[in-house]
Structure 1
Amino acid sequence: MRRLRSLYPLKSLGLEFWLPLPILAIAFWSGGAAIADKILQRSYYVTTPIQANAQVQEQPTKVILSIGVEIKYHQGFSKVKVKTANSALKKLEFEFPFTEVSQIEVALSRELGLSLEQIQKTVHYQVDFR
């Protein structure tokens, strides 16, 4: 009976609730540490390398209405006028230092970002022999 009277102050302080809390805290801490160690020890293999310095230049889509090429053989250059349907660029003009048709088409495909087939479908040539 005396023991029960001696434990009565512990019950009044709520130690029945507070004594298991440190044990639960230690259990959660050790369990969390074990899970964190397991996750951090995994090795992750990258199949494709990441390019950090690559800049993506997005060009607006160009709708080409017509391409007119004026070849000046004796002067050794070609003038190219391109009409587009874009609101920002209506006309583009190029001057190339060669008169070969194949070279002109390759240079136009590079400048406009189109394939050779698309260039050949829309290009019109005018030859000046003066």
Structure 2
Amino acid sequence: MPDLRPQILLIILSLLLLGITFWTGSDLLTKHLLALSYRTIDKLQADQMTQVIFMMSFTVLDTQIEQDKTLTKVNINIGNSLLKSVEMEFPKSNFDEVAIAKTFGLYPQVKKIKNNQPLTVNIPVVLKAIKAEIKQEKKLTFVEVITANKSLIKLNFLFPTTEINMIESMTTQVLNLQSEDVKKLVRYQMRR
């Protein structure tokens, strides 16, 4: 029987040399690739929210103020427009009416919002999301605009349509947005 020890030793040495070569080469290649700077054309901007200037004229129908230990919650019902209600939250204070006027950008000209008072507002609004609940039977869509503003929490709209293209168009017009922004922000829910 022939002696296989030199052949086995040759195979082991060649595998060992191949492994060391591969290890050294991959280490050099990795260091070279990590040293390169990568420039990206499009950057992910996940922390940016859409900001708009909300401009609308409406009449205040009713103002409901609820206070708990730390917060004052305000719900304002509105008439004569697509905007139906506005929800706000403030730290608890004795000057709720002034805080409401400041949120609408009306202070110091208006210090207290009264019922049946016509208002024209221009408010900077940072949008988080838009929820559109489509009611097929009634041919209406309730649109809830959730904001990231400090005190203005929600804007609630009522659109007299159930067609998605019309809902997006009306939302674009009411909020003074680009249609691409509306498509990114809006989420639909169908109700029968």
TM-score norm. by structure 2 comes to 0.36
Report what 1:106 is aligned to: 169
Larger Rg: 1
Q: Distance in 2 between matches of 1:87 and 1:66?
A: 15
Choose between structure 1 and 2: higher helix proportion. Answer: 1
Question: Which deviations, in whole Å up to 9, do the C-alpha atoms of 1:70-119 show, x marking residues without a partner?
Answer: 00111110000011112242100000110000100111111111111000
Choose between structure 1 and 2: higher strand proportion. Answer: 2
Matched, 1:116 2:179: yes
| Number of equivalenced pairs | 73
TM-score norm. by structure 1 comes to 0.52
Report what 2:188 is aligned to: 125
- Consecutive unaligned residues of structure 2, counting only runs of 5 or more, are 1-119
Q: Residues 85 and 72 (structure 1 numbering): CA distance in 2 closer, same or farther, change over 3 Å?
A: same
Once the 2 structures are TM-superposed, how far is the Cα of residue 62 of structure 1 from its aligned partner?
2.1
Report what 2:84 is aligned to: none
Query: Identity of counterpart residues, as a percentage?
Result: 37
* C-alpha RMSD of the superposition: 1.7
Matched, 1:82 2:142: no
Question: Which deviations, in whole Å up to 9, do the C-alpha atoms of 1:39-95 show, x marking residues without a partner?
Answer: xxxxxxxxxxxxxxxxxx994432110110000111110000011112242100000
- Consecutive unaligned residues of structure 1, counting only runs of 5 or more, are 1-56
Q: Distance in 2 between matches of 1:60 and 1:80?
A: 18
Q: Distance in 2 between matches of 1:92 and 1:77?
A: 17
Aligned pairs for 1:29-48 within 5 A = none
Secondary structure of the residue aligned to 1:94 is strand
Q: Tell me which amino acid in the other structure corresponds to 1:75.
A: K
